């Protein structure tokens, strides 16, 4: 089909094209309280063609692609946009001919369905004082083929494995739940950690039954590595996505190479972290994954780019154009985003707080990149009284403004803590993202509670 | 080549060779999406995506397989998964064929929209929203024409065509160094005038520009339809899922026929809502669609069920069966309206999806709000809204008359005294 597409495109006046094909097989098993709830499989194929005609982008996708139809649809749409559109450009790379495959010790395809069934069955047996336990296992095997008008031809074989546990505990009318999960660009071998994750979720759910809700207000806070991952991703990372710069909708616009944060804060987005849930070899525009320093000792140093944003803003490519599947246009997305560890010991961080809150774990968050206002919810937390962890807390969340909070980071732990394997949503697309981060101290932030 | 109906029938027949019960669902949406960026059209995409989903039951064991290519492999995988699975906790079969309603979910004016027609709509959005203060920073116009085909081993052969037009717009207002964003979306099954959408969004962006710090808490809080729908979806509705009720993962378990929330509020799952975004003739198991009272004047009346969970708990299916899941259709909130002349009105929040659906706790940042006092509106900012949705609904004092729809939830604004304001 590729030859036919090349042949058809040669007859058109086209500045740039890229053709993506994808084959994805997903297997998922879910058990609820020691009984299988669902065993499912998905097999998806598809191809898309994206072209730049004059100043118009056209994109066509089909799950049963026909070369002539794809070219005709993409060209029609691009020409329609060229009549009405604004200036468009593309940053070019050198031609790449690559075949890569992610690491695994035990490929999920070599594991029987029965073994995957037994894994979640065993893990979801109800432990004491838990009235509901749901355990999920998923593997996602992708073959992505990329070709473009520069002559690049890239084949990536990627194996993602993920598991999670949701536990619910109840006493009388009071009910509390906790969710823990882990994912990696690895094989079935990561499930060695499943039972620990189940135990952790159950422990948190049980403990939350005796937790109290903090009094809402402004406090000095410490946030653990997991919540820091969400903070760095949501509050800072989204504002560095350069498509937001093109739409003039990032609170970082105009702050390039300026001191916007504390000198303790150096932040990277790095798609090359080995085996990480947010990693890949080449983005969905055929650009190699890259380690990008987005903040250097508090100075905002780089946006994250696609081919288009790099060209229009005259910046270097960073390999951050990602699409959920071949059915979607690549967007500027993060990968693995983290603060570089500092030199503070966790106990010292706590000791410095007289009356504050320690927030732990994450239930997700959201930011408005235009204003920089954000909100994150923690899994649980502790009050801090006179330099020591005190009462156990639930329903605790953090709110603030990116530019204000980044300035208020006073201490960064000397090591990475737990990470957060999540899915980031943007324009109806979801991609895996990861962060392994240190705990950080913030001198002043709004904590939600009663 | 077989058409979609013939393909569905072929998959059913193939699966029936080994399976005792079979569900087949073919979904074929054709979508054209025009994206906007900084007051201009940006890119145009066209996607054709056929999904073949097969759920089989082999001796009480189930397996589900999905593919986007028509091939016997999708059936073979489902059978293999079922054989590898362990017996379902309970299984009674699938519903028999029944008379189905014919629904209004198709508008030929949407199918007739050409590429230029979509560009005209985008232009109308830009003209309606952008001015010297307001930029339409990002947005999209999406036309979708879908065909859904359901076959079951119990004789269901259902073909349904639907249309949808979705409009998303995010804008930024800037004036005298102040900046405010505003966002809205509309997804409808039939074409309707764009002006109310664009003018409301433009007004929203500029009105909140000069927001002042909220200094004191107020007794009555009005949560407008969009944030109310957002909080309801994430912090309350999962408790009305029959599976969660059965598994002890619902705060409403054991409360049927008791007054749980304010008697001023009624909630329905209504798959028959004319032109409702989730309206359909039957669910994926073949049970006919219906309007199910969940809360009637504050009294818990029912949960949503699929066929098997319903029979297991002595109920009847409410037509909410999916593929091994129970899903809401259109959620309609109705209630009594009472004039409120002094309140804090919440227009938009961020972070509702981080709520705890079991405990119904939420704690969100308020993006846009105003104080309503004697007909005057004063925009305010800098605070959080927290509490339990359970309490917010229990202490509801009014439901607004103007109903809007977000994510399939059709509701007016909720006025309540059951939430907390956290000043920063």
Q: Do A194 and A340 belong together in one domain?
A: no
Q: What is the pLDDT averaged over residues B148-173?
A: 96
Report how far residue B28's alpha carbon sits from residue B173's, in angstroms, rounded to the nearest whole number: 39
> Quick one: tokens of A280?
């890949």
CB A61 within 8 A of CB B29: no
Given B177, B206, B235, the domain boundary residue is: B206
Report the number of distinct structural domains present in chain B: 2
CB atoms under 10 Å from CB of B2, counted, come to 10
- In this predicted model, what pLDDT tens digit does every residue of A246-296 receive, in sequence order? 988 899 999 999 999 999 999 999 999 999 999 999 999 999 999 999 999
CB A57 within 8 A of CB A50: yes
Q: What is the pLDDT averaged over residues B111-130?
A: 95
Please state the ipTM of this predicted complex: 0.87
Q: Do B274 and B298 belong together in one domain?
A: yes
Q: List the pLDDT tens digit at each of the 450 positions of chain A.
A: 888 999 999 888 899 999 999 999 999 999 999 999 999 999 999 999 999 999 999 999 998 888 999 999 999 999 988 887 678 899 999 999 999 999 999 999 999 999 999 999 999 999 999 999 999 999 999 999 999 999 999 999 999 999 999 999 999 888 999 999 999 999 999 999 999 999 999 999 999 999 999 999 999 999 999 999 999 998 899 999 999 999 888 999 999 999 999 999 999 999 999 999 999 999 999 999 999 999 999 999 999 999 999 999 999 999 999 999 999 999 999 999 999 999 999 999 999 999 999 999 999 888 888 888 899 999 999 999 999 999 999 989 999 999 999 999 999 999 998 778 999 999 889 999 999 999 999 999 999 877
Q: What is the pLDDT averaged over residues B45-52?
A: 91
Residues 6+ apart with CB under 8 A from A428: none
Q: Name the DSSP letter for residue B210.
A: G
Given B176, B206, B236, the domain boundary residue is: B206
Best CA proximity match to B158, nearest among B16, B265, B25, B255 = B25
Q: Do B101 and B243 belong together in one domain?
A: no
E strands, A275-426, are 291-296, 299-300, 321-322, 331-332, 337-339, 355-360, 365-368, 373-377, 380-385, 388-393, 397-401, 409-412, 419-426
Report how far residue A95's alpha carbon sits from residue B14's, in angstroms, rounded to the nearest whole number: 47
Q: Do B202 and B222 belong together in one domain?
A: no
Q: Name the DSSP letter for residue B87.
A: P
| Residue B313 banded pLDDT, cuts 50, 70, 90 | very high
Burial track B99-134 (b if 16+ CB lie within 10 A, e otherwise): ebeebebbbeebeebebeebbebbebbbebbbeebb
| First and final C-alpha spacing in chain A | 61
Given A208, A243, A276, the domain boundary residue is: A208
Q: Do B97 and B49 belong together in one domain?
A: yes
Report how far residue A239's alpha carbon sits from residue A329's, in angstroms, rounded to the nearest whole number: 20
- pLDDT over 90 at B89, yes or no: no
CA distances from A9 to A2, A60, A74, B3 (A): 10, 14, 10, 30
Given B141, B173, B206, the domain boundary residue is: B206
Q: What percent of chain B has pLDDT over 90?
A: 89
Paired with B129 in beta bridges are none
Cβ distance A43 to B65 less than 8 Å, yes or no, reads yes
Q: Do A136 and A279 belong together in one domain?
A: no
Q: Do A191 and A329 belong together in one domain?
A: no
State which residues form the domain around A24: 2-208
Q: Do B175 and B194 belong together in one domain?
A: yes
- Best mutation target among B44, B326, B379 (most A Cβ atoms within 10 Å) is B44
Residues 6+ apart with CB under 8 A from B3: none
Paired with B44 in beta bridges are A58, B34
**How many helices and strands in chain A, by DSSP H and E?**
9, 24
Chain B residue with Cα closest to A370: B181
Question: Of B350, B357, B424, which is closest to A446 when you measure between CB atoms?
Answer: B424
Q: Do A172 and A259 belong together in one domain?
A: no
User: What's the CATH code of the domain at B93?
Assistant: 3.30.2290.10
Q: Do B165 and B246 belong together in one domain?
A: no
- In this predicted model, what pLDDT tens digit does every residue of A176-225 receive, in sequence order? 999 999 999 999 999 999 999 999 999 999 999 999 999 999 999 999 99
Cβ distance A395 to B422 less than 8 Å, yes or no, reads no
Q: Do A192 and A327 belong together in one domain?
A: no
Residue whose tokens read 């966790």? A346
Q: Name the DSSP letter for residue B239.
A: G
CB atoms under 10 Å from CB of B261, counted, come to 24
Query: Number of C-alpha atoms within 13 angstroms, CB side, residue B59?
Result: 8
Best CA proximity match to A5, nearest among A19, A16, A23 = A19
Report how far residue A384's alpha carbon sits from residue A377's, in angstroms, rounded to the nearest whole number: 18
| Residue B1 banded pLDDT, cuts 50, 70, 90 | low
Residues 6+ apart with CB under 8 A from A163: A135, A136, A137, A138, A181, A182, A183, A190, A191, A193, A194, A197
Which residues from chain B sit within 8 angstroms of residue A174, using beta carbons? 359
Which residues from chain A sit within 8 angstroms of residue B74, using beta carbons? 43
Question: Of A62, A121, A446, which is closest to B422 when you measure between CB atoms?
Answer: A446
| Residue B279 banded pLDDT, cuts 50, 70, 90 | very high
| pLDDT at res. A85 | 63
Report the number of distinct structural domains present in chain A: 2
Compute the count of residue pairs across chains A and B with CB atoms less than 8 Å apart.
250
State which residues form the domain around B64: 4-206
Q: Do A274 and A311 belong together in one domain?
A: yes
Cβ distance B63 to A40 less than 8 Å, yes or no, reads yes
């Amino acid at each position: 089909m590729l030859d036919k597409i090349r042949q058809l495109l040669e007859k058109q006046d086209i500045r740039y094209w890229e053709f993506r094909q994808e084959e994805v097989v997903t297997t998922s098993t879910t058990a609820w309280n020691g009984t299988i709830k669902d065993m499912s499989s998905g097999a998806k194929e598809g191809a898309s063609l994206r072209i730049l005609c004059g100043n118009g982008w056209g994109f066509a996708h089909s799950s049963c692609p026909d070369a002539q139809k794809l070219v005709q649809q993409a060209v029609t749409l691009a020409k329609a946009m060229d009549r009405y559109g604004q200036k468009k450009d593309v940053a070019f790379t050198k031609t790449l001919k690559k075949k890569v495959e992610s690491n695994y010790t035990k490929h999920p395809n070599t594991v029987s369905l029965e073994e995957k069934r037994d894994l979640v069955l065993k893990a979801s047996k109800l432990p004491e004082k838990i009235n509901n336990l749901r355990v999920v296992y998923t593997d996602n095997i992708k073959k992505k083929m990329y070709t473009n008008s520069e002559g690049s031809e890239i084949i990536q074989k990627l194996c993602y494995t993920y598991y999670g546990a949701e536990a619910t505990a109840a006493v009388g009318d009071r009910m509390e739940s906790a969710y823990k999960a882990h994912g990696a660009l690895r094989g079935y071998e990561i499930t060695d950690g499943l039972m620990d994750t189940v135990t952790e979720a159950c422990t948190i759910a049980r403990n939350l039954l005796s937790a109290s809700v903090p009094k809402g207000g402004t406090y000095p806070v410490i946030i653990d590595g997991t919540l820091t991952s969400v903070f760095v991703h949501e509050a800072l990372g989204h504002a560095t996505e350069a498509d937001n710069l093109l739409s003039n909708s990032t609170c970082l616009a105009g702050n390039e190479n300026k001191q916007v944060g504390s000198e303790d804060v150096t932040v990277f987005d790095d798609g090359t972290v080995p085996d990480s849930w947010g990693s890949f070899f080449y983005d969905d525009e055929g650009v190699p994954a890259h380690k990008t320093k987005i903040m250097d000792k508090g100075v905002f140093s780089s946006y994250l780019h696609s081919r288009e944003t790099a060209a229009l803003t005259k910046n270097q490519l960073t390999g951050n154009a990602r699409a959920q599947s071949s059915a979607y246009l690549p967007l500027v997305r993060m990968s693995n985003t983290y603060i570089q560890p500092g030199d503070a010991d966790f106990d010292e961080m706590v000791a410095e707080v007289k009356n504050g809150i320690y927030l732990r774990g994450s239930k997700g968050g959201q930011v408005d990149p235009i204003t920089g206002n954000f909100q994150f919810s923690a899994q649980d937390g502790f009050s801090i009284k006179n330099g020591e962890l005190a009462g156990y807390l639930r329903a605790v969340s953090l709110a603030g403004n990116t530019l204000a909070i980044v300035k208020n980071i006073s201490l960064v732990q000397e090591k990475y803590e737990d990470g957060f394997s999540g899915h980031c949503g943007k324009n109806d697309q979801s991609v895996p993202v990861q962060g392994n981060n240190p705990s950080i101290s913030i001198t002043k932030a709004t904590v939600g509670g009663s | 080549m077989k058409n979609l109906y013939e393909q569905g029938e072929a998959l059913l027949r193939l699966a029936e060779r080994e399976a005792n019960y079979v569900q087949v669902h073919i979904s074929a949406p054709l979508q054209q999406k025009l994206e906007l960026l900084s007051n201009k059209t940006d890119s145009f995409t066209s996607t054709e995506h056929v999904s073949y989903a097969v759920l089989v039951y082999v001796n009480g064991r189930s397996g589900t397989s999905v593919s986007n290519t028509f091939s016997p492999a999708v059936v073979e995988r489902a059978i293999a998964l079922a054989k590898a699975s362990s017996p379902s906790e309970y299984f009674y079969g699938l519903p028999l064929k029944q008379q189905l309603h014919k629904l209004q979910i198709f508008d030929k004016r949407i199918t007739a929209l050409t590429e230029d027609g979509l560009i005209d709509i985008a232009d109308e959005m830009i003209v309606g929203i952008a001015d010297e203060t307001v930029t339409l920073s990002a947005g999209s116009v999406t036309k979708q024409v879908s065909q859904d085909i359901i076959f079951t081993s119990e004789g269901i052969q259902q073909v349904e065509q639907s249309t949808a037009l979705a409009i998303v717009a995010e804008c930024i207002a800037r004036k005298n160094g102040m900046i405010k964003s505003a966002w809205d979306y509309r997804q409808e099954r039939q074409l309707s005038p764009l002006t109310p959408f664009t003018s409301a969004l433009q007004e929203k962006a500029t009105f909140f520009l000069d927001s002042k710090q909220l200094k004191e808490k107020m007794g009555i809080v009005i949560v407008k339809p969009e944030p109310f729908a957002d909080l309801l979806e994430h912090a309350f509705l999962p408790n009305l899922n029959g599976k969660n009720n059965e598994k002890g993962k619902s705060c409403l378990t054991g409360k049927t026929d008791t007054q749980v929330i304010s008697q001023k509020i009624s909630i329905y799952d209504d798959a028959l809502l004319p032109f409702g975004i989730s309206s359909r003739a039957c669910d994926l198991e073949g049970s006919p669609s219906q309007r199910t009272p969940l809360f009637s004047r504050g009294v818990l009346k029912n949960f949503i069920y699929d066929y098997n969970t319903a029979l297991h708990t002595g109920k009847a299916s409410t037509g909410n069966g999916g593929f091994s899941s129970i899903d809401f259709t259109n959620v309609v909130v109705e209630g009594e309206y009472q004039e409120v002349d002094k309140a804090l009105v919440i227009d938009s929040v961020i972070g509702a999806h981080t709520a705890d659906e079991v405990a119904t706790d939420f704690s969100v940042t308020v993006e846009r709000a105003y104080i309503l006092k004697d007909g005057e509106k004063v925009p305010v900012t800098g605070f959080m809204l927290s509490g339990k949705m359970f309490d917010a609904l229990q202490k509801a004092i009014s439901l607004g008359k103007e109903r809007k729809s977000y994510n399939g939830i059709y509701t007016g604004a909720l006025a309540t005294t059951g939430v907390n304001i956290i000043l920063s």
